[in-house]
Amino acid sequence: MAVPASGTLSQLAMAQEALYGTYGSGTITGPISLYDMVNGGNTNGSGNSYPTLNTSCTPNPVSSCGTYAAINSATNPAGDSITVYYRSDIYSSPSNFVNTIGAIAYSSSTGSTHYPVGNGYVFNYITCANEVNLDCNGQIIFTQGIC
């Protein structure tokens, strides 16, 4: 079965579809997190652990596909040396990446993990560097050149 194309939708029924493939039937333990239903698992507090969906395409989860490039000269807020990976199929260059609000800084070359929330990351690229702040999803929420 699948989620119906028309009519009223139910989060409980969608959780049943995500867990059992039976929209509207099956036992679900609350709470239900839409994040967990889309990305799999129960890291956002769901009572059930959902299977990972659409792992080979965007946007579920967005970090699961694409090609990645590295910024090898970067530091975290503590000043430790780190390597930052970014989606090179989206951002044409390191400077394009570090100057884009909403870009995600990955800590793995597969895009499976991102860097944690923090202020004061420094991402260096060929001609300059940027101080970057990241939110809890590894997204750039502030960027400023420090050439």
CA 17 to chain centre: 23
Bond prior to 31 in cis (omega within 30° of 0): yes
Same domain, 31 and 67: no
Q: Which two tokens stand for residue 116?
A: 């944690």
Q: Is residue 2 part of a domain?
A: no
In this predicted structure, the answer to whether residue 125 has a pLDDT above a threshold of 60 is yes
Beta bridge partners of 125: 128
Answer yes or no: do 36 and 77 share one domain. no
Is residue 82 one of the residues assigned to a domain? yes
What's the confidence (pLDDT) of residue 129? 95
Write down the pLDDT at residue 101. 92
Question: Cα 70 vs. chain centroid, distance in angstroms?
Answer: 17
Distance of CA 39 to the CA centre of its chain: 9
Q: Residue 47 sits in which domain range?
A: 8-53
pTM of full prediction above 0.75:
no
- Are the C-beta atoms of residues 123 and 98 closer than 8 Å to each other? yes
Q: What is the pLDDT of residues 97-122, one digit of tens each?
A: 999 998 999 999 988 889 999 999 99
> Is 131 domain-assigned?
yes
Q: How many independent structural domains does the chain possess? A: 2
pLDDT in tens, 18-48: 887 788 888 999 999 988 887 778 888 999 9
Question: Exposure of 15 by Cβ count < 10 A (0-12 exposed, 13-18 middle, 19+ buried)?
Answer: buried
Q: How many angstroms from the chain centroid is the CA of residue 72?
A: 21
Q: What band does 58 get if pLDDT is binned at 50, 70 and 90? A: very low
Give the pLDDT confidence score for residue 41 in this predicted structure.
83
Mean pLDDT of 84-108: 92
